[in-house]
Structures are given as structure tokens and as C-alpha cells.
Amino acid sequence: MKTIGLIGGMSWESTAEYYRLLNEQARERLGGLHSAKCVLYSVDFAEIERLQVAGRWDEAGKVLADAARSLQAAGADLLLICTNTMHKVADQVVAAVDIPLLHLADATAAAVRTAGLRRVGLLGTAFTMEQDFYRDRLAGHGLEILVPDADDRAVVHQVIYEELCLGIVREESRAAYGEVISRLVASGSEGIILGCTEIELLIGPEHSPVPVFATTRLHAEAAVTAALAPGR
């Protein structure tokens, strides 16, 4: 099994889920006492969040690029950025290393296409929902992306940063997300992309009338598949 390099800590709540899912996948596929070969570089999310809010994405990209170089030096054979939002700086990370980056949006789009869907709603941080870097990557796979209206986007973003990233899971917020999902479905969404790695702490398949695509799980599954594939 190849070694998976994780750029994590954004937030550590979802990075812990990555670690659990990678090891569960390895055990499920290989059996016995097998677990995933991985190395983790966990950044201080407070520093990254300040750069996000200030729009200093190039500086944030340099932090993640440094993390990627450290992971390559530690023996990683492939990389994951364990957050949807910070895929905004994916190109900087790719340029910093000689090992492949498994892009989260590609893994997600592949699952949506496999399910036979094309028009999907996207939940995530305001950066992910409103900027082009993630939506365009999904659209490049032939998907039509719908996002909530401004008020709903504000609710979704607030819950992520003020609750889920702090490990707070509230039924009131689950209900609010359910209403946002219902409005996306009413607008024609055939499925819902949980386009922030923390949202899976709050929303599961049972909370949506249409299929949900859990990006953390999909990314982890794709990573183990890549790690078990022959060759480099």
C-alpha cells in the first residue's frame, strides 16, 4: 500500500474523520489487522482562517505547499488536502511537490456521475459556494451546480465555522440545513454535495429527500483505491 499524505487541521474535527475512514477502508479491503499507511501534517486552522477572511489566499497556499513538501519528505506517495475550501490553492500545492494530489472535487464528481445524476446542489463554506474554483471543477465533469440563495448561504457558512469546526452539533442547525436542502431540491437539485468536510458531522442520507454525496468519505475511499493501485 502506498503512503497517503494528509494536509489536515482545517478543521481537525474533519481530519479525525479522514483518519478513521482511511483506516476503516483499508481494513475492509485488506482484512485482518490492516490499516492505512499515512502521514499527517496538521496546520493551525486559526492562522488559515485569518488568511481566508483577509483574502490572502497566496499566503495560505504557501502554508499548504510547505506542508506538502514536508509530507513528500516524510515518504508520502500521494496527497490529500483534507478540506474542500482550501482546494482554492490546489495549484500551489501541486507545483510544490513531485507526487500526485488527489483532488476532492474530482472524487466527488465521479461519484455523482456514477449515480447517474447531473444537476446537484452544493453546500459548503461561502468561499466554496460563491467562488469559481470548486464549482468550475465540478462543472468540468459535466455537472450543473446549484447553490443556495444568499440568506441560506450565510446560515450554512455560519454553522460550519461557529459550530461544526468547534465540534458543536446542534439539532436546530440540522433542521436549518434540512430546510436549505429542501429549497435546493425544489429548485431542481437531484442530489446534494456536502461540500465541506465538517457537514458530514451534521447531515447524513436520512436528512435529505435526495442522495447526498459526503465529500470526506468519497475522498477517503478514492485515496485508498489509489494507494492500493499498482505502480507509482
Q: Which of 15, 38, 82, 83 is catalytic?
A: 83
Give the three cell numbers for residue 188: 431542481
Instruction: Respond yes or no: is residue 83 known to be catalytic.
Output: yes
Q: Is 128 helix (H, G, I), strand (E, B) or coil?
A: helix
196 is catalytic: yes
Name residue 69's amino acid.
R
HEC profile for 184-199? HHHCCCCEEEECCCCH
Among the listed residues 38, 82, 165, 196, the single catalytic one is 196
DSSP string, 145-190: EE---HHHHHHHHHHHHHTGGGT---HHHHHHHHHHHHHHHHTT-S
User: In degrees, to the nearest 5, what angle opens at C-alpha 157 toward C-alphas 196 and 89?
Assistant: 50
Active site residues: 83, 196
